Amino acid sequence: MNRRLIAIGAEAVLYLEDWLGLIVLVKERVPKGYRRAEFDNYIRKLRTINEARAMIRARELGIPVPRIYDVDPVNMRIRMEYLNGIPLVRLLMNNSEDINDIIINYIRTMGNHIGILHRNGIVHGDPTPANVLIVGDKLYLIDFGLSEMLGRMPMTQDIRMLYKLALDLNVTLRSFEALRKDQSQFLFMEFLNGYKDAMGLELAGKVQAIISKIRKMVRYAVR
């Protein structure tokens, strides 16, 4: 096998490639015709570099993520470890019964992983069950394509930074609402249980309060 396309996303194409005798997953950001070429190249290069840096840093922090093998900022490609696992979103979509203890544990672990990122000044960008992969007995975070490294650890008085973290978690909550509307609050509270273990009660409480404000503003705006 030389190359096999496996997915086409809004930002990039994903394919498997035989690279130096190893089957790897390649994420390649393709040009966007609606953007000026210079700006498009800048955005794709920046996001490629940011994604690789965030994944490498996450791995240093002990969070399971795919290994990075090669970064090509000229062609906007990242070659990484190919993981053949089950997306957490599939379990939430297929489980029509009450949420079982296994899924609850996955949700808490997901929250803990995101909490570790946030505690170290990293915004995932799209922390949803679709970007959580279960491989064996490990839960991996994937797709750091919208990630941002804020450069410092959050402080309780740093409202701008906490707001960015809250926006990240609001994406999580919205994904739970889309998947399991009736159980979304329960799922999010279990997620927060894992998140608080990593972030600490004070910082997590600040972030949670900002999420509530964000959602109130949205409800007001759409009336």
- Over range 177-199, report the average pLDDT: 95
- Residue 183, φ and ψ in degrees, nearest 5: -115, 10
- 56-86 per-position pLDDT tens digit: 999 999 999 999 999 999 999 999 999 999 9
The per-residue pLDDT for 95 is 61
Site of tokens 């960015």: 164
- Over range 137-155, report the average pLDDT: 92
How far is the C-alpha of 49 from the C-alpha of 121, rounded, in Å? 17
126 is catalytic: yes
pLDDT for 200 beyond 90: yes
From residue 201, alpha-carbon distances to 83, 184, 205, 206 in Å are: 33, 21, 6, 9
Instruction: Please pick, among 70, 101, 126, 168, the residue that the annotation labels catalytic.
Output: 126
The per-residue pLDDT for 219 is 56
pLDDT for 91 beyond 50: yes
SS3 30: coil
Please give the share of the chain, as a percent, with pLDDT higher than 70.
Answer: 95
Total Cβ atoms within 10 A of residue 140: 19
Query: Which DSSP category does 182 fall into?
Result: G
What domains can be seen in the chain, in order of their start residue? 3-81 (3.30.200.20), 86-221 (1.10.510.10)
> DSSP readout, 95-161?
--SSPPHHHHHHHHHHHHHHHHHHHTTEE-S--SGGGEEEETTEEEE---TT-EE-SS---TT-HHH
Please give the share of the chain, as a percent, with pLDDT higher than 90.
Answer: 80
SS3 221: helix
Q: Which amino acid is at 201?
A: L
| Mean pLDDT computed over every residue of the chain | 92
pLDDT band at 97 (very low <50, low <70, confident <90, very high): low
User: Is the model's pTM score more than 0.85?
Assistant: yes
Nearest to 61 by CA among 130, 122, 138: 122
More confident residue, 37 or 108: 108
Q: Which amino acid is at 32?
A: K
Compute the radius of gyration of the chain from its Cα atoms. 18
